A and B are shown apart, each in its own frame.
Chain A
Amino acid sequence: MTPVERPLSPHLQIYKPQLTTILSIAHRACGLALAVGSLFLVWWLVAAASGGGAFEAAQAFWGSWLGLLMLFGWTYALFFHLCNGIRHLAWDTGWGFELKETYASGWTVVGASAVLTVIAFIWGIA
């Protein structure tokens, strides 16, 4: 069967990236990153429950620069997904679909997630 040469609708690579599209795919990417992170949370809990040096090894890893870097990434992913998730819930109620409101809520999410991440890390290290 020879494929029919139909005209294709413009796709991702045609459009200029915009705040709305970046935040949309970032929401999904952060969700997937958190899914990976959940694996490490279960490891941490099981290690704490098991004993026999497993928990001490886990804590040593999270205190290392690699562990801290991963925690920093997950902290940002969590706060971004949380803030943008609230934005999604607001949309579900029918609020914020005007272009101006969408951009205002989008930049609010960018700012709030960054501020929350910095606060969490300062609080965590202090």
Chain B
Amino acid sequence: MSEPTDLRTPLGRAFGLGSAKEGVQHWWAQRLTAVAMVPLALWFCAGLIAHAGADRAGVFQWLSSPVQAILMVLLLGTGFHHMALGVQVVIEDYIHTEWAKIGALILNRFIAYGLAVAGIFAVMRIALGA
């Protein structure tokens, strides 16, 4: 009699979902946002350097361009998503007390999404002429 080595059904195996039922979703989202951040980060550096000592009017002129405002919103959305995923892994790796870990994971998402929305709202105000 042979021992069963895998209790999952063939369909279950094809879905690639573990006990958390999310499969490679976190891993994939981290990579997807990473790829998007390569051009966005380079654009961001160039943009910041070009406006290093700028006054408020200079920043308004920069971000009132639709393309520049859209890129900044994309950078904030993608960047904070990437950050939330990365910080989550650090929390899961280093915090082993259950309540502290869950609390940190909740705070991580709240802070990341809060900052993203605050940043995007600021860009919208500038782009649409506050």
Residues of A within 8 A of B (CB): 28, 31-32, 34-35, 38-39, 41-42, 45-46, 48-51, 55-56, 59, 62-63, 75, 78, 82, 85-86, 88-89, 92, 120, 123-124
B90 located at the interface, meaning its Cβ lies under 8 Å from any Cβ of chain A in the complex: yes
Please give the residue numbers on chain B whose beta carbons come within 8 Å of chain A beta carbons, in ascending order.
Answer: 31, 34-35, 37-38, 41-42, 45, 49, 52-56, 59-60, 63, 72, 76, 79-80, 83, 86-87, 90, 115, 118-119, 121-123, 125-126, 130
CB distance from A88 to the nearest CB of B (A): 7
Q: Of B54, B79, B80, B122, which contacts A46 at CB under 8 A?
A: B122
Distance between Cα atoms of A16 and B16 in the complex (Å): 37
What secondary structure prevails in chain B residues at the interface with A? helix
Q: With A32-B90, A48-B126 given, is the CB distance from A82 to B49 under 8 Å?
A: no
For the complex, give the distance between the alpha carbons of A120 and B56 in Å.
Answer: 22
B31 and A89: CB pair below 8 A? yes
A39 to B76, CA, bound (A): 11
Known: A28-B90, A32-B90. A38 touches B80 (CB 8 A): yes
Which of A32, A55, A86 has a CB less than 8 Å from the CB of B38? A86
Interface contact A42-B126, CB-CB below 8 Å: no
Other 8 A-B pairs with CB < 8 A, given A34-B83, A42-B118, A75-B45: A35-B86, A38-B80, A41-B119, A49-B121, A49-B125, A56-B55, A56-B56, A89-B35
* Residue of A41, A46, A49, A124 with most partner-chain B CB within 10 A: A49
Within the assembled complex, what's the spacing in Å between the Cα atoms of A41 and B41?
13
Can you list 21 residue pairs at the A/B interface with Cβ under 8 Å?
A31-B90, A35-B83, A35-B87, A38-B115, A42-B119, A45-B119, A45-B126, A46-B118, A46-B119, A48-B56, A48-B126, A49-B122, A56-B56, A59-B53, A59-B55, A62-B52, A75-B45, A82-B38, A89-B35, A92-B31, A124-B52
